[in-house]
Amino acid sequence: MMRFVALLLALGLLLASCNRTPAPIDPASAQAVKVQLNILRDTVAARWSEMQQADDAKQRDTKQLLRELSGLPGADRAVLARLQYANDRLPARRYTQQSMAASDLIDAYDAAQDSLLQAVYGLVPLPTAPTVEATPVLMLTGRIQEADAELVGFRTRYDQAATRFNNYLQLHQAELQQLGGQYTKLQPLPLFTLQN
C-alpha cells in the first residue's frame, strides 16, 4: 500500500511539473520576430502552393477534356494534338515566386493559358436541350472555368500574405540583423499587384 501511495505521489509530481507554462517571449525581442517571421513565411508558402496546385489541377482537367473531345465523332485529331502540346508546355512557361517580379512573365503565361482555353472551349459541343445530362466534356469544362474564375482570389490571398511578410520584414530590420545568418538576407517578395 505504501508503494502505491508513493507511486501516486511521484505521478502527481511528474504531472504537475509537465503543466508548467513556458516563459512568455518578449514581443519586441529578436526571438519573437523570428517566430512571427517564420509564421508569415509559412503562410506565404501555403498561399503559393494552393495557387500552384489549383493551376496544376486546371491543366490536368484540360488534358482530360482534350482526351474526351478526341473521342467525339468528327474530332479533328491534329487540332487536338496541337492543343495538347500547348497544354503540356504551360508548366515550363509558368512564372516562379521570384521571377514574377517581371510582370511580363505573368502576362505571357496568362495570355498563353487564356488562348489555349479559348481554343478548347470552341471545340466543346453545346448541349442540344436544356435537360441534357452533364457529360464528362461539360463537367470538365465547368471545372476548368470555375478554376479559372478562382485565379484572382488565389492571387489576392497570396498578395495579402506576401504584403504582411514584406511589411513585417521592413518594420523589423534591426531585429533581423541581430538574428544574423539567413535572416539578414531576406528580401521583400514580389506581388501580383503592380506597385507605383
Residue 127 φ/ψ, nearest 5 degrees: -60, 145
Give residue 173's region: left, alpha or beta (phi > 0; psi -120 to 50). Answer: alpha
Joined together, the cell numbers standing for residue 70 give: 478526341
Name the nearest CA neighbour of 90 among 120, 47, 68, 122: 120
Q: How many CA atoms lie within 13 A of 129 on its CB side?
A: 3
Name the nearest CA neighbour of 112 among 151, 92, 86, 79: 86
DSSP 5-26: HHHHHHHHHHHHHHTPPPPPPP
The residue written with cell numbers 436541350 in the block is: 129
Entry pTM: 0.80
pLDDT by 10s per residue, the chain, length 196: 556 555 555 555 555 555 556 556 566 677 888 899 999 999 999 999 999 999 999 999 999 999 999 998 889 999 999 999 999 999 999 999 999 999 999 999 999 999 999 999 999 988 776 655 668 999 999 999 999 999 999 999 999 999 999 999 999 988 888 888 888 899 999 999 877 5
Give the C-alpha separation, 27 to 42, whole Å.
19
Confidence (pLDDT) at 157: 97
